[in-house]
Amino acid sequence: MPPARTPAEVRPADVADAGRIADVYRPYVTDSVASFEAVPPDAAELARRMTAAPRLPWFVACRDGAVVGYAYAAAHRTRAAYRWSVDVSVYLADGERGQGTGRALYQRLLPELRELGYVTAFAGIALPNPGSVGLHTALGFTPVGVYRAAGFKDGRWHDVGWWQLPLREPPVGPAEPLAWSPPVQGPSTDVPSSR
């Protein structure tokens, strides 16, 4: 594990960050089974995901102006009754693991989801992945089950463990979750073109 450094700055992500987010994510698609995607999404595709309805939070961690990690929420399922649940994910650049960056990202993302009215967060983790399991467990997520042989990648089948975190007490009559409105970061919020 690399020696601890000064914590990375965490801020809301903007579509202008999509290219740098794509750079962080690419190795998870091409060099591991942490992501079940087969083709790394480009900046334009990630910008589309960031702004898709319902708009959900995305945060980036930065060092010296460079994006070194990100975390985001996505709809848990498409059917209407699931709309108070979200899936959450965090991805870190090489060298950021063990630096507190994943925790810092989630410590911004999870309260934001609570404020928007979401009730439960879920995290799916391709197994084995002790680092991700440790992070989620340390943040209060509890295991709820394993999908056996859920995905086939790199010539073999992989299990996916699911963890759950209550964001708030489930209300009797929940109000609709709110859409996320990230603060404006800079002069340009144009969707980046494909690289």
- What per-residue confidence (pLDDT) applies to 6? 83
Per-residue pLDDT reduced to its tens digit, 44-73: 999 999 999 999 999 999 999 999 999 999
| pTM for this prediction | 0.91
Q: Say which range, 19-28, 125-134, 141-150, 182-191, has the weakest mean pLDDT.
A: 182-191
Q: Which amino acid is at 46?
A: L
Domain boundaries, the chain: 9-121
pLDDT, greater one: 129 or 185: 129
Per-residue pLDDT reduced to its tens digit, 90-134: 999 999 999 999 999 999 999 999 999 999 999 999 999 999 999
Q: Does the structure show a pLDDT above 90 at 153?
A: yes
Q: Does the structure show a pLDDT above 50 at 38?
A: yes
Mean of the pLDDT values across residues 164-180? 96
- What per-residue confidence (pLDDT) applies to 5? 74
Count how many Cα atoms sit within 13 Å of the Cα of residue 21 in the half-sphere of its side chain. 28
Nearest to 32 by CA among 118, 125, 109: 125
Q: Does the structure show a pLDDT above 80 at 83?
A: yes
Radius of gyration of the chain from its Cα atoms, rounded to whole angstroms: 16
Q: Which amino acid is at 143?
A: P
- Residues 33 and 7 sit within 8 Å (Cβ to Cβ): no
Per-residue pLDDT reduced to its tens digit, 1-37: 556 678 899 999 999 999 999 999 999 999 999 999 9
- What per-residue confidence (pLDDT) applies to 190? 42
Count how many Cα atoms sit within 13 Å of the Cα of residue 90 in the half-sphere of its side chain. 29
DSSP string, 166-185: E-SPPPSSPPPPPPP-PPP-
136 sits in which H/E element? helix 130-138
Mean of the pLDDT values across residues 188-195? 40
- CATH 3.40.980.10, applies to 9-121: no
